[in-house]
Structures are given as C-alpha cells and as structure tokens.
C-alpha cells in the first residue's frame, strides 16, 4: 500500500495483558489524529492442560487479553466504529463453548461470542456491523503458545488463514451475525444437535486426553 502511494501503517507496540494497554492504543491513535473504522479482534492465547495444574498467573493472563482488553478497547474506540470482526473460537465451540483441558480459554471465548452478539443488537440501529468469526483449526503460533501439538481434528478441519480472513471480510460486508469458514466447520453445529451435550463433552475430553503436548 505504501509503495502504491498509500499512507504508512501506524504500529503500536503494547502488551494487551497489561491494564493500560487500551489507553496506550487510544492515546497513540489520538496523537496521530486518526479514527478507527474497522476493528478486527484477533488477539488472544490459550493454555493446554488441566486448569488446576496450569500456572494461575498465565490463566489470569488469558482472561486479561481475551476478555478485559477486548471489552475496554471496544468501548475506548467506540466513537468511530462502522464494523467489527470478532474472533471468538473454533466453530464447534460456538455452539458448545466448553472444552476440557483448555477450560479457561474456551470459557473466555464464550464471553467474546456473547458480548459480540449483544453489541450487535445494541449498535446495529446505529449502523455498526458486528460479525463473529468462528473458524476451525488454523495453523498459527497459537498451538505452540498453548503448548499443544495439533491432532487429527486439525488435519480434518484445517482452514488456511487467508481463507478465514476473506470469509470474515465478506461476512462483515454482508452484515452476517456469524461466519463459519470451511465446509467441515459449517457441518459441526448441525452434528452437535444430534447428540446430548454430556456425550459431546465426554468425547471431546477423550480427544483432549490423548492429544500430545
């Protein structure tokens, strides 16, 4: 974009786990006299393991990034929104919102989905579009940060990051409430209706139990 004559991007380095991160972002944007038109919420991390065995500070960090920073930044930047793409969680969890051995991460993403859908209802009459983007497994640094090696479901449901981004953009432009990129991802909510929640939880727990770290 810069080579074609466009404006250079504004890079703001900050740690969203810190309580003043959103203030730094808002201050940097104000200093540059720019307003935000579109927000893409793609920040977040998780940890793999039993909740009572994982480091407490790191688990609280998940909440700080996935929930607290998300909420504060949404309101700090609210004056100029015209569109938001939220990235709640993998597609099957949009309907289940629970996954053993990643308890805090998936609970935090359930908040993201609920918060996004509520804001969509509140801000829709003001012309703000909010789309929840729920891909399946996407190859990224997430797996290494979480301390997990992708299993069989990653091979089956894997979607390219570029395809996820395009689906999110098209969904926002079409003002869709929810976007599930990939055929396999779109089938999961239908399949979940066929089995009791307890059965699904037990099955996911067995899959997670055998997943390598």
Q: What is the pLDDT of residues 108-133, one digit of tens each?
A: 988 999 999 998 999 899 888 999 99
Where does the pLDDT of residue 42 fall: very low under 50, low under 70, confident under 90, or very high at 90 and above?
confident
Count of CA atoms in the C-beta half-sphere (13 A) of 45 = 19
**Partners of 130 in the β-ladder:** 84
Question: Residue 115 sits in which domain range?
Answer: 37-209
pTM: 0.81
- Determine, yes or no, domain membership for 25: no
| Between residues 194 and 56, the one the model is more confident about | 56
Write b or e for each residue in 87-115: b if 16 or more Cβ atoms lie within 10 A of its Cβ, otherwise e.
bbbbbbbbbbbebbbbbbbbbbbbbbbeb
Of the two residues 91 and 138, the one the predictor is more confident about is 138
Nearest to 102 by CA among 148, 138, 144: 148
Task: Give DSSP secondary structure letters for 85-119.
Answer: EE----TTHHHH---TT-HHHHHHHHHHHHHHHHH
> What is the structure's pLDDT at 171?
93
- Residue 115 domain-assigned? yes
Is the pLDDT confidence value at 32 over 50?
yes
- State the alpha helices, DSSP H only, in 32-69: 56-63
Q: What is the rounded average pLDDT of the residues 186-206?
A: 67
State how far the Cα of 156 lies from the Cα of 108, in Å rounded to an integer. Answer: 25
Q: Is residue 6 part of a domain?
A: no
Tell me, yes or no, whether 108 lies in a domain: yes
The verdict on residue 110 lying in a domain is yes
Give pairs for 26-34: CB < 8 Å, separation 24+. 26/76, 26/77, 29/77, 34/10
Report yes or no on 1 lying in a domain. Answer: no
Residue 83, CA atoms < 13 Å, CB-side half-sphere: 15
More confident residue, 65 or 7: 65
Q: State percent of the chain over pLDDT 70.
A: 73
CATH for 119: 3.40.50.720
For residue 31, tell me if it sits in a domain: no
Task: Give the number of domains in the chain.
Answer: 1
Residue 27 within any structural domain of the chain:
no
Q: Note the pLDDT tens digit of each residue in 142-185.
A: 888 988 876 656 666 678 889 989 999 999 999 999 998 876 66
Q: What is the pLDDT, as a whole number, of residue 158? A: 76
C-alpha dihedral over 203, 158, 65, 173, to 10 degrees? -120
């Amino acid at each position: 974009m810069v080579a074609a004559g466009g404006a250079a991007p504004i890079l703001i380095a900050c740690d969203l786990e810190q309580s003043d991160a959103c203030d730094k972002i808002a201050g940097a944007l104000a200093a540059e006299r720019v307003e935000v038109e579109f927000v893409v919420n793609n920040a977040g991390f998780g940890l793999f393991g039993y909740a009572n065995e994982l480091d407490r500070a790191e688990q609280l960090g998940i909440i700080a990034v996935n929930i607290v920073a998300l909420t504060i930044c949404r309101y700090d930047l609210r004056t100029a929104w015209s569109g938001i793409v939220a990235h709640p969680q993998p597609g099957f969890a949009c309907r289940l919102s629970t996954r053993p051995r990643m308890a805090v991460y998936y609970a935090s993403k359930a908040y993201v989905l609920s918060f996004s859908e509520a804001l969509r209802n509140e801000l829709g009459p003001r012309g703000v579009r909010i789309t929840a983007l729920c891909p399946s497994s996407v190859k990224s640094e997430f797996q290494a940060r979480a301390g997990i090696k992708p299993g069989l479901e990653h091979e089956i449901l894997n979607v390219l990051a570029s395809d996820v981004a395009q689906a999110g953009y098209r969904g926002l432009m079409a003002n869709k409430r929810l976007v599930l990129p990939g055929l396999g991802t779109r089938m999961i909510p239908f399949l979940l209706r066929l089995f009791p929640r307890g059965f699904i939880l037990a099955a996911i727990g067995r899959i997670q139990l055998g997943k390598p770290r």
